[in-house]
Amino acid sequence: MTLSPSHSRPAHRRVPPNLQPIGVFDSGVGGLSVWRELTTLLPAESTIYLADQAHVPYGARTAADVEALTHEAAGWLLAQEAKLLVIACNTASAAALSSLRQRWPDVPIVGMEPAVKPASAQTLTHKVGVMATPGTLNADRFVSLVERFASGVEVHTQVCPGLVELVEAGDLDGPLVEAHLHGLLDPLVAADIDHLVLGCTHYSFLAPAIQRVVGERVTLVDPAPAVARQAQRLLTTHDLLAAGSLLALPAGPLLALPAGGTAPMHRFFTTGDAAPLRISIAQLLGLQASVEQASLAPRERGTGR
């Protein structure tokens, strides 16, 4: 797929802006942790999820390569009439968030960043850990984050090779997973951290195993709920919330319906094989969903355009 380098939204919309979907992008299944928070907080909203599994993992790719892929994904989601973009990938956000906002200044865009600020504000030992990919930890955005919000706090970082691949394969627990996590995280525990930032959305699905490895005295910090709240704020600011009413079902949960009684729609796309993502959605979210195919083909790899 080749997209034009448009600096604005698609010209022709088939549905009212507030009923357009939220676009969610990740290199793979990690962004489903953010999707889960979004749909919990905003049950009336439709979504379209794009996983670039043909190119996962992003962590070891060059920043220019990740930027190009992320721009292509953003353009693809906007072509599907997404009203707001959530870049549910720390590595992609670090590489491309600034240039995405420059390219599409009228599009509300939410990115990810390691939750260093809340971890530094809450630590009692003044020592926090951050587990993330090289692309996230080596980015200027991360360095700036630590400089701005971690004054007087020791920030211990840990690159975590292999974890994204484990989650993509559905290996979330067991002796081999815990042994791998011990090798990565024991040095952080030995450094006396009391908060551990999950700096990749994939890691949220490993949280139970991570918690056992680091122990109960270490608090895990997952930015996904804060990302959902930021999406809600931007939708409100731009008058894009799906207007709806809450209908109480007998002996069941509340069901939010947009105006006109249309139930929200959730579509899932992958640039890889559909079957693995469909299996992951069932395993990670407990949902049976169809998965469609998408194709991303950056024209000028390295330029992000």
To which residue do tokens 């003044």 refer? 126
Chain length of the chain = 305
Q: What tokens were used for 89?
A: 């990938």
CB atoms within 10 A of CB 138: 16
E-strand stretches of the chain: 22-26, 47-51, 84-87, 109-110, 127-132, 154-159, 195-198, 219-221, 244-248, 254-258, 266-270, 291-293
Asked if 7 and 103 count as a contact pair (C-beta separation under 8 A), the reply is yes
As a whole number of angstroms, the distance between CA 135 and CA 126 comes to: 25
Asked if 221 and 247 count as a contact pair (C-beta separation under 8 A), the reply is no
127 DSSP β-pair partners: 154
Active-site annotation holds for 89: yes
DSSP 202: G
As a whole number of angstroms, the distance between CA 264 and CA 21 comes to: 9
Active-site annotation holds for 200: yes
- Residue burial 240-268, b: 16+ Cβ < 10 Å; e: rest: bbbebeeeeeeeeeeebbbeeeeebebeb
Asked if 25 and 86 count as a contact pair (C-beta separation under 8 A), the reply is yes
Tell me which of 97, 128, 200, 221 is the catalytic residue.
200
HSE-CB at 53 with a 13 A cutoff on CA atoms is 28
Nearest of 133, 169, 218 to residue 53 by alpha carbon: 169
Tell me which of 69, 89, 188, 209 is the catalytic residue.
89
The answer for 259, left when phi > 0, alpha when psi is -120 to 50, beta otherwise, is beta
Residues annotated as catalytic (active site), given as ranges:
89, 200
